[in-house]
Chains A and B, each alone.
Chain A
Amino acid sequence: MPESSYLICTESPDVTQAAAVALAGLHEEMLPRPFRVRSKRMETIDTVTLEFEAADGGPPLSFQPGQFTMLYVFGVGEVPLSISGDPEAPGVLAHTVRAVGAVTNAICALVPGDSIGIRGPYGTGWPHAQGKDLLIIAGGIGLAPVRPLILNALAHRDEYFCVGLAYGSRSPGELLYTSELEAWNARGDINVQVTVDHGNPTWRGDIGVVTPLVRRLRCETDDTIAVICGPEVMMRVVARALEDRGIASNNIYVSLERNMECGIGLCGHCQFGKDFVCTDGPVFPYADVAYRLGIGAQ
């Protein structure tokens, strides 16, 4: 045997140990699973809620409220979307999607029985607020990522003190989950406040931005968790209103959006200052991102 054959399969010890761990999860994190559309409900003129079920016989896709997945439509592409369903019934995976681009238009055009690829869940979830007051402020499509949190809080209502929801949309026709909003309000144990920018002849609710509604959400404890989901400018204004009410900025949480592509912090597209939104977020304590949100083009 020639001496040189000794060299076959030699390894640099520096990374061998880490590699042994790593190879066990070869691309699993980025490998989509086939899902099938189970049901479809029109929410507004351009927004639908789709329920998916795994088509590979695998386990349900368990998730934390606030996490997102990557949805893939064959031949069209892939987008990040927050999960909008019940975390305690993950066998049905719900996404509420607004048709704004090529992929979301294709997703909105799916019908029950259609096949799709889903990978995830990715990212951080909303904080645990058990034993505390929970205030939720959402704008527009931003109600979708907090819906799992609301469903979970209402399923375990006795574990919280005050629970309040302030929701603003552009018009009555663009409100999501209207029958659910009615049902939540009818329970009496969650303070539901809804406003629209522009009313219509039959609208009897509030008109205007969501910020003033924040003052109507009651808190019983000094330990209040507030979560905000909506356009960045709305989240900044609402966060300041919450701070004015005495809620500490590290008890306020926001969900940010950037160009999430890989979902696992390795492609760089969603970098926002020191964070990769896909793994360090999308949910951040407002105290961590307040300064950055004030600097443009980041």
Chain B
Amino acid sequence: MGWLFGDRNTAEPHRYAQTNGDIVSARVIQGDLFESLIPMLISSGYRVVAPTLDEGAIVYDVIDDAADLPIGWTDEQGPASYRSYDRGDDVYFGYSVGPRSLRAFLSPPHLTLLTITRGDTDLAFASDEHEGRAYAFVGVRACDLAALAIQDKVLVESRFVDAAYTSARSRSLVIAVNCSVAGATCFCASMGTGPRCSSGYDLVVTELVRGDAHEFVVESGTDAGADILGALGSREASPSDITDAADVSLATERAISTSMPDVDTYTLLTDNLEHSIWEDIAQRCLSCTNCTLVCPTCFCSTISDFTDLAGKATRTKSWDSCFSLDFSNLHGHPVRTSSSSRYRQWITHKLAYWYDQFGSSGCVGCGRCITWCPVGIDITEEIQRLDSEAQEVPV
């Protein structure tokens, strides 16, 4: 295995980040970390996916070098509101999550599953292969790490397995970032998923700007991460580096202004399936599907066949949404004709039935559904309202 992992002499045996969130062993790398890391990953064969500016938003996309990172940029988010702007400094990660999540790469919006050929006598079916270059995801936030863990549970560890996701996921590298700013729609702290990354990364960095000093505190979570860290020039983190890094997460957590109410959402929702709140939300909900398309854990898809005139068809899988009218078709007619029934389907899945199916909430508190809802419906507010109304008038 020498040619794979080498016979490098790391300065000391690597110790991993502990699950309690304490920084046990950390290294410090200068502010130009990504100028060396990203070319290293690319030359190693990875497709590097990292935050970058695209059409006015900071989104995960494939980048070619560190200059593609939105250095100095930030964003302002609110219900139905998103704005990005250059704040004129050289901070790498001074913004929150954008509309695109990592499932855009691991479960692409359109994926060819099969090729079907009509022969002289019979049909022939052939699976498509989905091997491609491995992804290195850079700049992944704690909420998106939690979303990856949930998608693994759904698509890898269920009775049946999403083969394309599993292949891409098992070969990907995750370089996470501890958030240093809190968006107005972020509520990871109340979902227990952030803002500090606790697991699911190969490497995690905390950006420290102290006076003129711009550095990253870097911890590894896996052997793969340790190998990369070992290949980069670094110094051992001092106690003050470690304290300062921890303070970044603490300050970010204190800045989070949105929270999921501390209620048993399973009981609240399943006890109130016929509450009038669904009708009220439907007065605002446009059934546009935005919330499901930006959600990092939504996994619904639809199968479409495209048939040519020469006797060949391709079967593709595309993202779908429970807000689409024909999603619930039965014998040619939708079961859920109203927006109220579709919103209820979505929120009860995320915050109730997900526990039955996959053992956790389906929500990671990233706040994307709030920001990108064109009418600003706030999942945390609606739970708060249902909770107070359900107590007033027991159904």
Contact = CB atoms under 8 A, between A and B. Distances in A.
Contacts of B40: 3-4, 7
Interface stretch (A72-80, A175-183, A236-244): A72-80
Contact of A273 (B172, B311, B353): B353
A95 B240 CA distance: 72
B202 interface: yes
B274 A10 contact: no
Interface in A224-256: none
A34 B169 CA distance: 31
Contact size range, A: 35 or more
A116 B121 CA distance: 10
A10 B156 CA distance: 19
A31 B44 contact: no
B227 A298 contact: no
B349 A271 contact: yes
B81 interface: no
B320 A269 contact: yes
A289 interface: no
Interface in B296-328: 299-303, 305, 307, 311, 313, 317, 320, 322, 327-328
A31 B335 contact: no
Contacts of A36: 122
Nearest to B42: A4
A22 B161 contact: yes
A16 B43 contact: no
Contacts of A75: 305, 307, 313
B155 interface: yes
Contacts of A34: 122-125
Contact of B170 (A16, A257, A264): A16
A263 to B, nearest CB: 9
B305 A77 contact: yes
B160 A268 contact: no
Given A15-B170, A25-B163, A115-B123, A259 B330 contact: yes
A25 B156 CA distance: 12
A270 to B, nearest CB: 9
Nearest to A295: B273
Contacts of B328: 258-259, 269
B329 interface: yes
Contacts of B329: 259
9 contacts: A5-B43, A10-B173, A13-B222, A14-B149, A15-B156, A32-B114, A267-B303, A268-B327, A295-B274
Given A27-B113, A34-B124, A75-B305, 20 more contacts: A1-B3, A6-B227, A8-B4, A8-B44, A14-B222, A19-B167, A22-B156, A27-B127, A29-B160, A30-B114, A72-B116, A74-B307, A267-B302, A269-B328, A274-B357, A276-B357, A279-B160, A297-B335, A297-B338, A298-B336
